Chain A
Amino acid sequence: MDSVLSVDRGGPAQPLLLAKNLRKHFPIPGGLLGRATRVVRAVDDLTLSVAKGETLGVVGESGCGKSTVARLLMRLIKPDRGTMILDGDPVDEPHGITVNELRRHVQMVFQDSYASLNPRLTIVETLAFAPKAHGLPHAEARGRSRDLLAKVGLEPDTFADRYPHELSGGQRQRVNIARALALRPRLVILDEAVSALDKSVEAQVLNMLVDLKDEFGLTYVFISHDLNVVQYLSDRVLVMYLGKIVEIGDVEAIYGKPQHPYTRALLSARPTMDPRRRTQEAPIQGDPPNPIDPPSGCRFRTRCPFAESVCAGTEPVLADTGKQSVACLMYVPGSGHSKAA
């Protein structure tokens, strides 16, 4: 069960997970004989690294590809292109580790707490499923499941033999978190894991996530559309727009001095509790463009208040600007944008 991979191999400086040029285009069946003529460009050439022990927040509007990234990192869907490296081991390559080994070390918590639990299995059966599938004896798997229940704050004697419909939303999401931990993973991807919970329960679960991270030495990729929650939990933040990273950096830099116009618009759209700090910037206009046919050049240019003609022709790449990396021509010297140095 616990392979060599469970222990740290490359040292703290080596990223736990490195994804390079990940791309996923979903074909749209149509045309003659159901042949795909067009594609949804859900994730386009995405490169990211997750450091050991950190929490990487991923934010963006609905439909920007956040969940596709989560499923790509878990290999629940196969990327069209790109490579992944888990602590020095390439994934799904001849001399690397298999997808199954990857899944033992990367686990995921889904958003819909009800749909992600089998209604016909008791809680302990759900939790013991993965360890048993990996060869742990029945009794041992059940024992581990009961321990995990206690760890996520559910009394094993009370909850082990219940069915999902007998639990509240918050309790079910605790079970989902316990299930993700059942294989003792190193990286847990939380895809909108607390978004469906009401505020008081959300706060409890968030605090629990922080505790579990310390106890099990976990690394999180935390996907959410809730900017406040991401700020509270994350060490670094990644902002996505239409399948691409527009800005990535430390949480203080992103929230304190956002550089990309999209990040600025997102953050200023946050409701504030303080009437003296009313939103000054113009709110972002309209809906995101269709990812089937994204705008040429910079994908944000159709909604960007600073867009110029150069933005339609040149696609900006992520460039280091000190504390963060930004994909915007305004920060590329000599790009031709009037605001560029």
Chain B
Amino acid sequence: MAIQSPSLDLTAGAGTGVRLTPVAITRGYWQSVARRLRRDPVTLVCGVVLLLVVASALAAPWLGLSDPYKTSMIRRLYPIGSPNFLLGTDELGRDMFSRLIYGGRLSLFMGVTPVVLALLIGGFLGITAGFLGGRVNMLIMRIMDVFYAFPSVLLAISLSGAMGAGAENTLLALTLVFIPPICRVSESVTTQVRGFDFVEAARASGAGTLTIVRVHVLGNVLGPILVYATSLISVAIILAAGLSFLGLGVKPPEPEWGLMLNTLRQAIYVNPVLAALPGVMIFITSICFNLMSDGLRAAMDVKA
């Protein structure tokens, strides 16, 4: 049976030995996502900046930086551009550049880990609620609504306050804060996908629930959920910094951007630019995560 479509030319070409490569045809989903990303300069720049921040934080011990813990009473609060101290020194005479790079380790860790943990737990709960619907959905989502009743900052502060200061408790508190929003997004995307005829058709083929979720649901919901989680990383970094600022997170003398912002507070009249530097790092990192998640969402939109 003949079908009227341009593809006939392609098969004809292949038959005569002329190998036509149907570029626009065999391209997979992720390849087209990558192609759209390459055409998006904002996302690319953000990605490069993030890569620099993450790589320098990871490689900090091998970069030949000066000791971020070494204090000196005589060279406190050197201004930016001082010899040997590119970004000056803090209120205890420690090298700011070194502390900012090292600070990225904890700050990024505190930003990314809770989101990843919340993604696993909240994503599982949300997809379960969305796919099963009915009473299971009701139960899970109403519990999430209870957490939603509190503003996330207050929830994080009260959880950290109740469990005591320290990095582990901050991680735990932030994870709990991020489970409800991720769960809600996962639930709504899954509910939407579940309503499509191809899920109905899969049920009609007699496949089991787990197989249907694995083959037909996950592939269609993971993208949007991951994009949303990326945008939460910036919130997590800011929240973690805020908790440290309040004295509920990391304890001194650890270099961490939020904590540095706190301790440099007293120097704000002496050297305001210096005191703002950790804030600049938080700002750059979080805005890069946000813009990158926007770019990813646009690139992953099939209809774009």
**A contact residues vs B (CB 8 Å cutoff):** 74, 76, 100, 103-104, 107-108, 110, 112, 115-121, 126, 129-130, 133-134, 153-155, 157-159, 161-163, 165-166, 168, 170-171, 174, 176, 179, 182-183, 204, 208, 211
Contacts and interface: CB of A to CB of B under 8 A. Distances in A.
Given A104-B206, A158-B11, A183-B205, A133 B211 contact: yes
Interface in B201-259: 201-208, 211, 215-216, 219-220
Residue with the greatest number of chain A CB neighbours at <10 A, chosen from B2, B10, B11, B201? B201
B205 A208 contact: no
Interface stretch (B90-98, B192-200, B286-294): B192-200
B3 A119 contact: no
B197 A115 contact: yes
B215 A162 contact: no
Interface in B239-286: none
Contact of B14 (A115, A157, A179): A157
B208 A108 contact: no
Given A129-B215, A179-B201, A154 B3 contact: yes
A154 B201 CA distance: 21
Contact of A171 (B2, B3, B200, B215): B3
A170 to B, nearest CB: 8
A204 B5 CA distance: 13
Given A133-B208, A179-B201, A115 B26 contact: no
A154 B10 CA distance: 13
Contacts of A120: 29, 219-220
B220 A130 contact: no
Nearest to B203: A76
A57 B109 CA distance: 63
B249 to A, nearest CB: 40
Contacts of B302: 119, 165
Interface of B: 1-3, 5, 7, 10-11, 14, 24-26, 28-29, 196-198, 200-208, 211, 215-216, 219-220, 302
A110 B7 contact: no
Contact of A159 (B7, B204, B205, B220): B7
Given A126-B198, A130-B207, A179-B201, 6 more contacts: A76-B200, A76-B204, A116-B198, A129-B207, A158-B10, A204-B3
Given A115-B196, A120-B219, A162-B25, A153 B202 contact: no
A118 B204 contact: no
A130 B206 contact: yes
Contacts of A154: 3
Contacts of B1: 153, 204, 208, 211
Contacts of A168: 5
Contacts of A133: 202, 205-208, 211
A166 B211 contact: no
Given A134-B206, A183-B205, A118 B216 contact: yes
Nearest to B218: A120
Contacts of A126: 198
A155 B7 CA distance: 9
A211 B1 CA distance: 11
Contact of A157 (B11, B29, B197, B219): B11
B3 A153 contact: yes
A155 B11 contact: yes
A119 B216 CA distance: 9
A74 B29 contact: no
Given A153-B1, A162-B26, A166-B25, A108 B201 contact: yes
Contacts of B2: 153
A118 B26 contact: no
A170 B1 CA distance: 13
Contacts of A155: 7, 11
B205 A130 contact: yes
Contacts of B206: 100, 103-104, 130, 133-134, 183
Nearest to A163: B29
Given A161-B26, A208-B1, A103 B7 contact: no
Contacts of A208: 1
B300 to A, nearest CB: 11
Nearest to B29: A120
Contacts of A163: 28-29
B204 to A, nearest CB: 5
